[in-house]
Amino acid sequence: MVEGAVERVLIIGTGLIGASTGLALRAAGFTGRIDGWDQSSLELRAAREMGAVDGVAGNDWGALELARQADVIVLAVPVLAIKDWMQRLAPVVSAGQLVTDVGSTKLEITEFAATLYGGEGQAVFLPGHPMAGKESGGAMLAEAGLFNGAMWLFTPATQEPTALEAQWRSWIGFIGARMLDMDAKRHDELCAWVSHLPQMLSTALSALLEEEFGDAPEIAAIGGRALRETTRLGASPYSMWRDVALTNTKPIAETLLALEQRLMHVRENLRTPGLREEFEQANRFRARR
């Protein structure tokens, strides 16, 4: 085995992001072996049938055995499950191996990794978060081009990457993603604004419309693009966002409070020039994006 070369990858969690990672690696020319594990046998079978993984672990013990053989282990499960797998993998993997994740929050994961990885004889942990996805999950929605042009964020504990980490970063570039390193706390604060707040807003609006109108045919008849776009994230699964809310509670709560205050400002200025100022400020923001 060439030092620093990525020849075997294990993907823990073969849903949308995990299966897309496997497909993207193959499309980028990765010729090594990719194994997979998932709690759902349906997701695992789908990932294998579409070519996202070569082999599968039939149970947790099988996944741990494959982890011993892997150069890189990708944790593509919800955040609390990531922390669980971090703890289970720590005594199994060793120096010369890399464990990384795709979790939507990073502070708890990064701090936890410092207690389990990176010491003498231990594997290295690289916290990561691809800013890519869809409102619905599952291997059947996976695609090789999911990460094209997407930002893949990292919150590393050290500034000097190992040879294996550098090689994995190269593969992230090969699959079309851009990369940015940042502090874990800053990551969670920014993602609360640009990712978690939009999700909570869309969820609240969708739930409100469901409560007010249910399956009233008029809504389907007159609800156009604006309604579809603002409620698209309302289809996202609670199973994933529960962990985001639990591990980034304070920043998300702060953004929701700021939005509540802003909506109150809009409400109070529906018949004043303040509403025009609000639209002009919003237009300036959109013009720069």
Domains of the chain and any CATH numbers:
8-182 (3.40.50.720), 186-287 (1.10.3660.10)
Residues composing the chain: 289
Indicate the Cα dihedral angle 91, 95, 98, 99, nearest 10°: 20
Q: List the alpha helices (DSSP H) in 28-162.
A: 41-49, 60-69, 79-89, 107-116
Residues 184, 106: contact at Cβ < 8 Å? Answer: yes
Distance in angstroms (rounded) separating the CA atoms of residues 144 and 212? 39
- Please report the pLDDT score of residue 1 as a whole number: 42
pLDDT by residue for the chain (289 residues), tens digit each?
A: 445 689 999 999 999 999 999 999 999 999 999 999 999 999 999 999 999 999 999 899 999 999 999 999 999 999 999 999 999 999 999 999 999 999 999 999 999 999 999 999 999 999 999 999 888 889 999 999 999 999 999 999 876 889 999 999 999 999 999 999 999 999 999 999 999 999 999 999 999 999 999 888 888 788 888 899 999 999 998 988 999 999 999 999 999 999 999 999 999 999 999 999 999 999 999 999 8
β-pair type (151-154, 128-130): antiparallel
Amino acid 100 reads T
- Please report the pLDDT score of residue 129 as a whole number: 98
Q: What single-letter DSSP state applies at residue 122?
A: P
Residues 150, 123: contact at Cβ < 8 Å? Answer: no
Q: What single-letter DSSP state applies at residue 77?
A: S
Q: Specify the residue for token string 């795709």.
A: 102
The string of DSSP codes covering 222-254 is H--HHHHHHHGGGGS-HHHHHHHHHHSHHHHHH
Distance in angstroms (rounded) separating the CA atoms of residues 78 and 74? 12
pTM for the model? 0.93
Q: Label residue 93 exposed, middle or buried (CB < 10 Å: 0-12, 13-18, 19+).
A: buried
Residue 80: closest CA among 104, 115, 58, 114: 104
**φ and ψ at residue 26, rounded to 5 degrees:** -60, -45
- Please report the pLDDT score of residue 3 as a whole number: 55
Tokens encoding 90: 């720590």
